[in-house]
């Protein structure tokens, strides 16, 4: 593995065939963070354009990406990236190639087509209601049919497809009654048009489709935005290892190709690629993300070191013991997958509603038809009334009731730095009965010691560099500088070396912050503690940055809050007993477990689940991945490992543990609004169904009732934004 | 009735044109970055040519 320097950019280079330019252009997309406003966009784009040579950049603020275009011949984005970094933005390769949002596009196209059809068919219907008769009515009805039928064939596909999927899996979802209502409305109206019998439901069918598509698009784009942000966070450790060949030369190879017996070399700041044995000299490793231990460990020659540990000293020689697939990280991942499959199938509130609702409506329609036939109506008339019942009770409001609330809630949370992966998470979050915390990195985080005798100048320089990193230590430095209200100088040429620190130019001096062993400077020898964070500046004596692991701000109130709601917070940590006991005592947590290995964490979670508890797990480490996946609901910190982020339901990008309380409040609010919406939809049906059964449902009443109930439900959902 | 023969196709053609323009815009990536588009309008300087 190498550092995240310019040489390790991964991703594919696509020749851009659509460019009219005779000189072929290629483009590559990177994640960029720190963009906020119009100024940022133009700064980045102009800076790259100023480089000349047909190199250009295009920022996408929504996705927080920047696409760099350069001539395909000798494609080189390094100068452009360096220029953007100089401006103070953090540019990283995307962990995965950006995908186009095909579902969103399909919904948008369908929405456009159904919107067009709805407007025009409504126009024609108004003419019919206004009293067009005879030839004119027939003509208008035929035109409606010609617009509505193709439009429905095109734009109702998302519902029909989903309904088919549910039926073939022998379940019911909300799309089943929707698809049936739309299909029946279209077919009945077509028959009536052919027979010249008047009253058709084309308008109801297309408006229904339009409203539902709009609701679905809103829900989808909210989810997509959260997903994009999570992808932007994804870590960028290139899957590479340095292999020492027979002749002593070092070659960079992919981790996948490492076989047991191969000799590997680690520089300080590299992660151990596969489970290995330490050769030669002992090495110091940071295991905090893997096991939760906050103290670094020294592993002597001949001992085994697990994949994922971070080398603090270097170089270290290793002999590979296992393949990548059998290594620690991979084993944890399979543990997580197993935990996920054990998670009880949690049915969503919307599907629950559909499962009750669909049979009731369909039986009502059936009995209506039988009732009318017994009462002496002809088969055709009875069928017409039955279909009217189906259409008028169409689950428009009901289908919107849940997702629209969830979309609004997710949007609010997104703005506050909480990324929610799925709306259903909110339901689970509300239902938790107990809460389990990880310690290292979750309840505790690094902070600059308060009694630090650190002068303002040194802190300002350190913070100027720290701004460019998301590492918790860097955040701590920046927070302290902000607290002291220091004016930060501009750092240029900044480079982050993962696990080592940040280097760059500050006030015309070469400077770096991080672990001293890793910083290429002569001054390093003067630094005593091997494990401390140090600020080095050319020509100035080194300054130790006194960082300590302390309880994060807001953690105590959060735990107090949980206690007030009658939950007993627990800590399950991989750290030593003494450290966990200390933190537990500070926070007043009586239920704690120390020295827990990942499998034990998982077992403890399962014990709780078996005891009937619905556990909320909050963690960040590699060792938490399985436990997060097994929990009823889970929250990960932003600087968590990929695995933890992948298994958690909510990712806190704000980094404030106290935000968990906000998430819980919003989840509860969303639930009460969902229930309100379901009641509103129910009330609408209680009024509409008797009218339809009695045979008084005109297409006009159907269209108005449906639209009004949808608008009421959507408006009610927006109340979550208030307060 | 006779008026409808002209007006109806006209209304439909306008509507269809709107749909076509919308779909074209979507394919050209007009809706790829709504947040960026909203702030780009605030950029007060002409494009990059003066820098070169």
Structure confidence by residue, pLDDT tens digits, A266-310:
776 667 878 888 887 777 777 665 665 666 777 888 888 877 777
State yes or no: pLDDT of A621 exceeds 90: no
Give catalytic status of residue A438 as yes or no. Answer: yes
Residues A313-326: pLDDT tens digits?
Answer: 667 888 888 877 77
pLDDT tens figures, A649-698: 888 877 778 888 888 889 999 889 988 988 888 888 888 888 888 877 77
Q: Which residue has the higher pLDDT, B17 or A126?
A: B17
Q: What is the pLDDT of residues A398-430, one digit of tens each?
A: 777 887 888 888 888 877 878 787 777 888 888
Could you tell me if B22 lies within 8 Å of chain A, comparing CB atoms? Answer: yes
A63 touches chain B (CB under 8 A): yes
For the segment A155-167, what is each residue's pLDDT rounded down to a tens digit?
Answer: 999 889 988 988 8
- A136 in reach of chain B (CB within 8 A): yes
Asked whether residue B19 is domain-assigned, the answer is yes
Question: Do A135 and B1 lie within an 8 Å CB cutoff?
Answer: yes
User: Per the domain annotation, does B52 fall within a domain?
Assistant: no
Residue of B nearest to A46 (CA): B48
Band of pLDDT at residue A723, cut at 50, 70 and 90: low
Distance between CA atoms of residues A713 and A65, nearest Å = 35
Q: In the sheet where A591-593 sits, what is the strand order? A: A418-420, A650-652, A633-637, A615-619, A434-437, A569-572, A591-593
With CB atoms and an 8 Å threshold, state whether B15 touches A108: no
B36 touches chain A (CB under 8 A): yes
Is residue B2 one of the residues assigned to a domain? yes
Q: Which pLDDT does position A521 carry in this prediction?
A: 47
- Active-site residue (options: A175, A438, A461, A639): A438
Contact A116 B39 (CB under 8 A): no
Q: Which pLDDT band, with edges at 50, 70 and 90, does A148 fall under?
A: very high
Q: Which residue has the higher pLDDT, A488 or A516?
A: A488
Q: pLDDT at residue A586 above 50?
A: yes
pLDDT value for A155:
93
Where is average pLDDT lowest: A76-80, A216-220, A602-606?
A: A76-80
In chain B, DSSP finds a helix count (H) and a strand count (E) of 2, 0
Q: How many domains does chain B have?
A: 1
Q: With CB atoms and an 8 Å threshold, state whether B36 touches A59.
A: yes
| pLDDT one-digit tens code per residue, A7-27 | 333 333 444 444 444 457 777
Count contacts between A and B (CB, < 8 Å): 66
What is the per-residue pLDDT for A228? Answer: 66
Q: In the 8-state DSSP scheme, what is residue A63?
A: T
Which residues from chain B sit within 8 angstroms of residue A62, using beta carbons? 32-36
CB A423 within 8 A of CB A217: no
Domains along chain A with CATH numbers? 22-96 (3.30.70.100), 240-326 (2.70.150.10), 418-443+552-653 (3.40.50.1000), 445-549 (3.40.1110.10)
Phi, psi at residue A91, to the nearest 5°? -110, 130
B37 within some domain:
no
Is position B4 within any domain?
Answer: yes
By C-alpha distance, which of A670, A414, A418, A434 is closest to A559? A434
Q: How many whole angstroms separate alpha carbon A482 and alpha carbon A480?
A: 5
**Structural domain harbouring B16:** 1-28
- Put simply, whether A37 touches B (Cβ < 8 Å) is yes
B39: in domain:
no
pLDDT above 60 (res A238): no
Q: Enumerate the residues of chain B whose CB falls inside 8 A of the CB of residue A108.
A: 26, 31
Is pLDDT of B46 > 80?
A: no
B16 within a domain of the structure (yes/no): yes
Element (H, E) at A138: helix A134-155
Residue-level pLDDT at A708: 80
């Amino acid at each position: 593995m190498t550092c995240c320097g310019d040489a390790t950019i991964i991703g594919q280079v696509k020749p851009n065939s659509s460019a009219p330019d005779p000189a072929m252009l290629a483009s590559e997309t990177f994640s960029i963070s720190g963009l906020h406003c119009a100024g940022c966009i133009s700064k980045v784009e102009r800076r790259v354009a100023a480089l000349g040579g047909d190199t250009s950049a295009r920022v996408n603020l929504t996705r927080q990406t920047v696409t760099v275009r350069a001539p395909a011949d000798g494609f080189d984005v390094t100068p452009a990236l360096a220029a953007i970094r100089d401006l103070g933005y953090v540019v990283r390769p995307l962990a995965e190639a950006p995908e186009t949002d095909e579902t969103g596009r399909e919904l948008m196209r369908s929405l456009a087509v159904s919107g067009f059809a709805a407007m025009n068919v409504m126009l024609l219907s108004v003419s019919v209601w206004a009293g067009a008769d005879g030839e004119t009515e027939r003509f208008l009805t035929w035109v409606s049919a010609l617009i509505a039928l193709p439009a429905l064939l095109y734009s109702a596909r998302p519902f029909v497809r989903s309904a088919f999927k549910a039926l073939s899996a022998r379940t019911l979802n909300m799309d089943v009654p929707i698809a049936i209502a739309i299909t029946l409305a279209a077919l009945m109206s077509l028959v009536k048009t052919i027979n010249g019998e008047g009253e058709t439901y084309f308008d109801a069918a297309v408006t229904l489709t339009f409203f539902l598509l709009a609701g679905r698009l809103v829900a989808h784009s909210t989810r997509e935005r959260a997903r994009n942000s999570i992808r932007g966070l994804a870590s960028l450790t290139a899957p590479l290892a340095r292999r020492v060949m027979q002749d002593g030369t070092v070659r960079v190879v992919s981790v996948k190709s490492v076989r047991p017996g191969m000799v590997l070399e680690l520089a300080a700041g590299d992660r151990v690629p596969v489970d290995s044995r330490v050769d030669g000299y002992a090495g110091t490793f940071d295991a905090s993300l893997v096991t939760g231990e906050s103290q670094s460990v020294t592993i002597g020659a001949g001992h085994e070191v697990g994949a994922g540990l971070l080398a603090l000293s270097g170089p270290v020689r290793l002999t590979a013991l296992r393949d990548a697939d059998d290594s620690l990280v991979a084993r944890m991942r399979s543990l997580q997958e197993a935990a996920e499959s054990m998670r009880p199938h949690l049915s969503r509130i919307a599907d629950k509603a559909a499962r009750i609702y669909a049979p009731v409506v369909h039986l009502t329609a059936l009995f209506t038809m039988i009732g009318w036939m017994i009462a002496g109506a002809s088969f055709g008339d009875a069928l017409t009334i039955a279909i009217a019942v189906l259409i008028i009770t169409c689950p428009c409001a009901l289908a919107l009731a849940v997702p629209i609330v969830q979309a609004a809630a997710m949007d609010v949370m997104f703005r506050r730095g909480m990324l929610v992966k799925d709306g259903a998470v909110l339901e689970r979050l509300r239902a938790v009965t107990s809460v389990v915390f990880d310690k290292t990195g979750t309840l505790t985080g690094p902070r600059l010691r308060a009694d630090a005798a650190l002068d303002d100048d040194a802190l300002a320089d350190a913070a100027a560099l720290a701004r460019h990193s998301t590492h918790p230590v860097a955040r701590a430095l920046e927070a302290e500088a902000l607290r002291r209200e220091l004016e930060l100088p501009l750092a240029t040429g900044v480079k982050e070396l993962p696990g080592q620190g940040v280097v760059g130019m500050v006030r015309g001096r070469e400077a770096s912050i991080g672990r001293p062993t890793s910083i290429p400077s002569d001054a390093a020898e003067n630094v005593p503690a091997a494990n401390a964070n140090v600020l080095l500046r050319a020509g100035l004596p080194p300054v130790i940055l006194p960082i300590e692991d302390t309880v994060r701000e807001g953690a105590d109130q959060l735990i107090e809050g949980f206690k007030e709601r009658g939950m007993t917070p627990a800590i399950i940590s991989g750290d030593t007993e003494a450290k966990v006991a200390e933190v537990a005592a500070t926070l007043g947590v009586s239920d704690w477990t120390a020295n827990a290995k990942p499998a034990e964490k998982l077992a403890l979670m399962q014990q709780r689940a078996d005891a009937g508890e619905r556990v909320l797990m909050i963690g960040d480490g590699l060792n938490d991945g399985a436990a997060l996946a097994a929990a009823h609901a889970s929250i990960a910190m932003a600087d968590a490992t990929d695995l933890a982020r992948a298994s958690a339901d909510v990712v806190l990008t704000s980094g404030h543990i106290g935000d968990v309380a906000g998430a819980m409040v919003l989840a509860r609010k969303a639930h009460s609004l969902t229930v309100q919406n379901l009641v509103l939809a129910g009330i609408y049906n209680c009024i509409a169904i008797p009218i339809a059964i009695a045979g008084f449902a005109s297409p006009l009443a159907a269209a108005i009732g449906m639209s009004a109930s949808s608008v009421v439900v959507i408006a009610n959902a927006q109340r979550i934004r208030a307060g | 009735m006779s008026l409808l023969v002209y007006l109806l196709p006209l209304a439909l053609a306008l509507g269809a044109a709107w749909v076509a323009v919308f779909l074209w815009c979507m394919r050209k990536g007009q809706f790829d970055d709504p947040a960026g588009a909203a702030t780009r309008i605030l950029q007060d300087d002409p494009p990059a040519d003066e820098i070169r």
